[in-house]
């Protein structure tokens, strides 16, 4: 079989029925990769460094010879690993890519083609994919911005909107963060590059028409350690704002149910992280409540603080009253409040 070179657009369609092999080094893959790709490194991180240094300081030919020394002993194992992957995925086609579609993908593609696999190579490699990802952030989306104080259940509402076949993007889920000092306690965030890959794919997968709306949560540009790409952020700022007006007591109850099960020491440490903004007295009061197992009292202090912060940030945007649609909600309910939003959208 002949090795087939494919463009990024062909790749995006073909990958649905193919195994995608990323032959970059383990470190490159761990930093960020194409969603769904399988790591099949030609070189270890150290080997890649040696080859790269030789290429820069000696010659292309010398670098290739060193690379062949590393590659030769791995050939059989690589073929057997690919055989196993093919059988496991019940798929006969393979797409290979490296960083730029250069020698690494060419070498692995040659080996797999020689053995008899149906091999495709992504022209431009991972770099071409990253260019496509960046393009997703400059599309003129029509966003409906889901706003509301902390504890309003915006994440639940977004999930319900998706369940009801509404186009929606959950930024906090993509960033693995909940937008506060307490938001990063559950698991580590991805790298900025991997966040962008996930977000770009999520937007592209919606396949919305130019006049269709997309629901997205009201966020600051920074979510934990990550940043919403500037072009997307500017488009979000032009979206219509829906404010979920949920009673304080209902929000407090929801927050206690969600975070009350978190380890007490983690909650105390998260409180210390906002000490400067929360103030010494309120910090002391909150920590005393936590130490004495008065979780509801502690979160009441914190929720009042976050309400002030949210209102301050919201007012800075300079939105006029007619630019904000307030949706009165009795409870924190994904199902019920999503229905209210859908009714409002139909009236726009």
Residues catalogued as catalytic: 98
Burial class from Cβ neighbours inside 10 Å (0-12, 13-18, 19+) for residue 262 reads middle
Whether residue 49 contacts residue 28, with contact meaning beta carbons closer than 8 Å, is answered with no
Burial class from Cβ neighbours inside 10 Å (0-12, 13-18, 19+) for residue 193 reads middle
* SS3 per-residue string spanning 16-36: HHCEEEECCCHHHHHHCCCCC
Whether residue 244 contacts residue 157, with contact meaning beta carbons closer than 8 Å, is answered with yes
For residues 113 and 105, what is the distance between their CA atoms, to the nearest angstrom? 12
For residues 330 and 272, what is the distance between their CA atoms, to the nearest angstrom? 32
Phi-psi region of 7 (alpha: psi -120 to 50; beta: other; left: phi over 0): beta
Look at residue 10 and give its three-state secondary structure: helix
Q: What share of the chain is helix, strand, coil (3-state, %, to 5)?
A: 55, 15, 30
Q: What is the distance, to the nearest Å, from the Cα of residue 328 to the centroid of all Cα atoms in its chain? A: 30
Is the Cα torsion angle 40, 42, 44, 45 positive or negative in sign?
A: negative
For residues 322 and 233, what is the distance between their CA atoms, to the nearest angstrom? 22
For residues 175 and 189, what is the distance between their CA atoms, to the nearest angstrom? 6
Closest CA to 337 of 148, 171, 168, 160: 160
List of E strands, 74-221: 93-97, 118-122, 142-148, 168-169, 213-217
């Amino acid at each position: 079989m002949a090795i087939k070179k494919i463009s990024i657009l062909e790749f995006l369609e073909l990958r649905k029925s193919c195994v995608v092999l990323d032959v970059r080094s383990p470190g490159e893959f761990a930093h960020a990769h194409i969603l769904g790709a399988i790591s099949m490194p030609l070189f270890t991180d150290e080997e890649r460094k040696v080859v790269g240094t030789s290429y820069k300081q000696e010659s292309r030919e010398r670098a290739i010879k060193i690379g062949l020394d590393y590659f030769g002993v791995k050939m059989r194992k690589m073929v057997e690993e690919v055989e196993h992957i093919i059988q496991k995925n019940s798929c006969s086609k393979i797409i290979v890519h490296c960083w730029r579609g250069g020698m690494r993908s060419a070498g692995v593609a040659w080996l797999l083609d020689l053995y008899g696999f149906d091999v495709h190579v992504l022209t431009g490699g991972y770099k071409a994919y990253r260019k496509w990802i960046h393009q997703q952030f400059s599309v003129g989306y029509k966003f409906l911005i889901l706003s509301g104080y902390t504890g309003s259940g915006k994440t639940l509402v977004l999930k319900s909107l998706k369940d009801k076949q509404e186009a929606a993007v959950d930024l906090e889920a993509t960033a693995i963060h909940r937008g506060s000092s307490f938001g990063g306690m559950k698991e580590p965030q991805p790298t900025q590059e991997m966040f962008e890959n996930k977000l770009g794919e999520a937007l592209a997968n919606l396949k919305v028409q130019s006049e269709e709306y997309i629901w997205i949560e009201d966020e600051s540009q920074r979510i934990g350690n990550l940043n919403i790409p500037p072009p997307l952020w500017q488009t979000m700022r032009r979206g219509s704002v829906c404010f979920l007006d949920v009673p304080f007591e209902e929000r407090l109850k929801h927050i206690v149910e969600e975070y009350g099960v978190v380890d007490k020491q983690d909650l105390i440490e998260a409180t210390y992280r906002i000490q400067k903004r929360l103030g010494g007295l309120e910090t002391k009061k909150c920590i005393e409540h936590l130490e004495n197992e008065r979780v509801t009292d502690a979160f009441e202090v914190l929720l009042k603080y976050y309400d002030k912060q949210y209102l301050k940030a919201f007012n800075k945007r300079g939105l006029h009253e007619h630019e904000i649609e307030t949706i009165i909600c009795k409870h924190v309910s994904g199902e019920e409040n999503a229905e209210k939003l859908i009714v409002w959208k139909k009236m726009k």
